[in-house]
Structure 1
Amino acid sequence: MSNSSAPRRHLPTSPFRAATPPPAKRFAAGDRVSHDQYGLGRAISVEGEGTTAVVVDFGSRQVRIVAPFTKLFLL
C-alpha cells in the first residue's frame, strides 16, 4: 500500500518534465491589473519586497489584496 501524502518521485529517465511551481507574481505601483471578482483596476501601492500585498484602485473602491494573488492578473 502506498502513502498518499508522500510527494511523487521524478525519475531522471522519464520523458515528462518534473512539475515546477509557477513563478511568484510581482506587481509595481501603476500596473494595470484584472481581478476575477472586482474587474479592471490600477495598482496604487505595493507592500513588502517580495510583493506581499497590493492596494488596487478599481474605480468605485480600493481593495488591499494579499499574496498569493490567485485571482489577480497583470495586464
Structure 2
Amino acid sequence: MTKPSAPKRHLPTSPFRAPIPPPLKQFAVGDQVTHDMHGLGRVIGIEEGVAALVDFGSTQVRILSPYAKMSKL
C-alpha cells in the first residue's frame, strides 16, 4: 500500500482558483454522534479545536479533531 500524498499547495501565480477547504466539524455537549468504529454516542465534553469526549455507553473515548470518522446525527 502507498501512503496518500498531501494536497498540493496553490501557487499565487496560478490562473486557477485555490481549492476551498471543507468546513471544520463542530460539536457541542449533548450532540448525538455516530463513529465508524465505536457506533452511536453522545458528546459529554469539548476541548475547543482539539478533541471531543464521547460516551458510547460501554466506554468513553476522546476523539481528536478533525473528527474524520465521526459525524453528527
Q: Extract unaligned runs of 5+ from structure 2.
A: 1-6
Q: Corresponding residue for 2:53?
A: 55
Distance in 1 (alpha carbons) for counterparts of 2:23 and 2:40: 22
Which runs of no fewer than 5 residues in structure 1 stay unpaired?
Answer: none
- TM-score of the pair, normalised by structure 2: 0.75
RMSD, aligned CA: 2.2
Matching residue's letter, 2:72: L
Stretches (4+) displaced over 3 A? 5-10
Cα distance in 1 between the residues matched to 2:8 and 2:21: 17
Which structure has the larger Rg?
A: 1
- Does structure 1 retain, via aligned residues, the 8 Å contact 2:10–2:18? no
Query: What residue is the counterpart of 1:7 in the other structure?
Result: 9
Aligned residues: percent identity?
Answer: 49
